[in-house]
Amino acid sequence: MVDSKKTKTGAKDTPKPQVNQMWGGQFSSAPAELLAKINVSVGFDKRLFRQDIRGSIAHAKMLSRQKIITDADSKAIVDGLSAILRDIEAGNFTFNDSLEDVHMNIESALKDRIGEAAGRLHTARSRNDQVATDFRLYVRDAFDAFDAAFMALQRGLIKRAEEHTGTLMPGFTHLQVAQPVTLGHHLMAYVEMFGRDRERIRDARKRMNESPLGAAALAGTSFPIDREYTAQSLGFDGPMANSLDAVSSRDFALEFLAMAAISAVHLSRLAEEMVNWSSVQFGFIRFSDSWSTGSSIMPQKRNPDAAELVRGKSGRMFGNLMSLLATMKALPLAYNKDMQEDKEPVFDTVENLMVCVQAMTSMVLDFAADKEKMEEAASQAYANATDLADWLVRELKLPFRDAHHITAKLVKVASGKGKALEELSLKDMQVIEPKIRKDVFKVLSTIDSVKSRTSYGGTAPDNVRRAIADAKKQYLK
């Protein structure tokens, strides 16, 4: 599970730079203060601490299995890392900006805790393959968390759809009343959208589930490491086949951001409908006080702010995708420091997309539908015109284009009289088409219109009930 729990950091301002002991003996003076400021990443990459420790433990165990370090050193490293993990989770660990990133902070703390043995952990490993491994583990955890979150949203939508399999409402095209549908059918459309989002999650997760660990800086290592062991220990399907690709690829993060952006589109569309439906002009739904906000000046207002924020945050997630695409687009192989910029867009999207999915799930379960208002709206604006045209085709054997033309004329007549189509007399209809019979009125009621849409995927209540049963089997498992 992705965890963004905050941990202690060092001083608010970046401390005066010191020579970084992790860089080796070549450097005798500290970097410029501005270089230290732009170079430091611990302020955001510290959230990789679980993944970093998990990867380091797997690496240490492999080193001892391969007789590269002693069992005693391996045990000291594993025990020390486990203790550091407990400290961080308990909020008893201070991250130091002068140590640059999460990896150096943990390694430095390990040295303070167990001494010389800590220096053996980085044998046959580089920060390049280390961070690539940590980041893959983080994104994989994020994929799993969102698969579960979207399933919860689907469950909520299905629950509400079951309650409203026969609740009539207008279906829209161009935001104009088009044909009557049911609210259950409308909600199930989003179940399918989020189902495709989950398919993207699972597909991308499978593709990215390879281990970079052991690729070292870029060329592999001369030590007799066992990459299959570390891959298996970390739940990967296997090691990545090319060391250059292993440390330099970030397409797994791009796929995550692309999935998130598409999901954000779906969330935003549902949010937009909730904004519209809860307005006075529509009046289809009402949110409880728990999911409504007021106005500082207009006491009558009940604003759907949560839905608006879900809609608004979608743009932020689109920007995160474009940010990483722009960062990666012209980088030569292998690792480049530009890639430090890969994490913040992903972290931001993880945090904001999760809030949006969870908020939408709660809103779906919260709203109350005004069935009478929705049914009234479904019968307006000549929403049954297509049913009349279909009757002319089916009963009078007219070509559809001719039926369409006749129906349009009848709509014009009804509009001129200020009546609905079903309120026209048979005589009025026969002026336009003499062959029309009185049984035409059987297809012009809103409920009959909805019940007639029995083709696969249609809005007929029986169809919706079958779709709900199928969705439970497909998605809620």
Q: Cα angle at 277 between 276 and 283, to 5 degrees?
A: 120
Residue 8: per-residue pLDDT: 47
Residue-level pLDDT at 5: 46
Amino acid at 235: G
pLDDT at 25: 58
**Sign of the CA dihedral with 425 first, then 429, 434, and 440 last:** negative
Q: At what angle do helices 251-277 and 343-366 cross, to 10 degrees?
A: 30
Our answer to whether residue 405 is catalytic in this structure is: no
Query: How would DSSP label each residue in 54-88?
Result: HHHHHHHHHHHHTTSS-HHHHHHHHHHHHHHHHHH
Residue of 29, 174, 290, 296 marked catalytic: 174
* pTM score: 0.91
pLDDT of residue 19: 55
Per-residue pLDDT, 76: 98
- On whether the CB atoms of residues 302 and 277 are closer than 8 A, the answer is no
Q: Which of 103, 118, 126 is nearest to 51 (CA)?
A: 103
Structure confidence at residue 32 (pLDDT):
80
Tokens 């980041």 found at: 135
Structure tokens at 366: 């919260």
Q: Quick one: three-class SS letters along 285-296?
A: EECCHHHCECCC
What is residue 35's predicted lDDT score, i.e. its pLDDT?
Answer: 83
What dihedral angle (degrees, nearest 10) is formed by the CA atoms of 254, 256, 257, 262? Answer: 120
Q: Using DSSP, how many helices (H) and how many strands (E) does the chain show?
A: 18, 6
Count CB-CB contacts under 10 A for residue 34: 10
Q: Give the model's pLDDT for residue 34.
A: 83
Clarify whether 28 is annotated catalytic. Answer: no
Q: Which residue of the set 82, 279, 288, 295 is catalytic? A: 295
**pLDDT recorded at residue 33:** 80
Q: What is the mean pLDDT of each run of 10 residues along the chain (477 residues)?
A: 46 52 61 82 95 98 98 98 98 94 96 97 97 98 98 98 98 95 98 98 98 98 98 98 98 98 98 97 96 91 94 97 97 94 97 98 98 96 94 96 97 95 95 96 94 96 98 95
Q: What is the model's pLDDT at position 16? A: 57
